[in-house]
Amino acid sequence: MSVDIRGKIDTLQKAAFALRHKMEHEAREVKDSSTFNKDKLVTRLQTQSNDFAEQVVSEWWQLAWVLIAKYSDGYMTTGEAPEQQASIGYPAWWLQASEFATWPGDTFKPKSSMRKQLLGVDSETAQGFVRQAAMASKVETETRSDETRSYDNRSYPIAIAWVIMGAVLGAAMLAFAKKESRRAGYHTVG
């Protein structure tokens, strides 16, 4: 896709530089002539610039629709026949640099409720990752669930402490605001 975009950029830049050169040349010729009219020159240059800008926008939209048609659905389509569709994929250097082939490794640990559903999965798209994760040892799962339970038990007192601190802080702020409003109340005249 970047090849198509860079090609369009190159074409439009060359056209812009050529138009600018042409406009500057015409402006010099008109300035040197005896029938020089600044308003007409400015109007002409403005019209040429605006026409070119509209052309550029139109060409970019045309390219956008060409790119959508050419690269939709993860394929590069150059024609109607099946052999005129190619899977683009990622370059080998990117796959090696990103360690894509080893993802998710042992980081994917489905919940035990999901594990039963995943045991039957056997497809090329899964690339062994789901099967490998679904067949993880039961000991590890049981250990993690014990750790989670003990962590959850520790978190309740902390949560209760935060709620109590919030209530005390809220009551203190309310008392302070009430005290301040009394000070700013009525003043004696006199």
Global pTM reads 0.46
Give pLDDT, residue 130: 43
Give pLDDT, residue 184: 64
CA–CA distance, 82 with 80 (Å, rounded to integer): 7
Give pLDDT, residue 178: 85
Cα-only R_g, the chain = 36
8, 9, 15, 17: CA torsion to nearest 10: -170
CA–CA distance, 8 with 49 (Å, rounded to integer): 19
CA–CA distance, 19 with 49 (Å, rounded to integer): 9
**Which residues partner with 130 through β-bridges?**
none
How confident is the prediction along the chain (190 residues), in pLDDT tens digits per residue?
888 999 999 999 999 999 999 999 999 888 888 777 888 889 999 999 999 999 999 999 999 999 998 888 778 888 888 788 887 777 778 777 887 777 767 777 777 777 666 665 544 444 444 444 444 444 445 455 555 555 556 778 888 999 999 999 999 999 998 888 776 666 666 5
Complete DSSP assignment for 8-67: HHHHHHHHHHHHHHHHHHHHHHHHHSTT--HHHHHHHHHHHHHHHHHHHHHHHHHHHHHH
CA–CA distance, 118 with 48 (Å, rounded to integer): 64
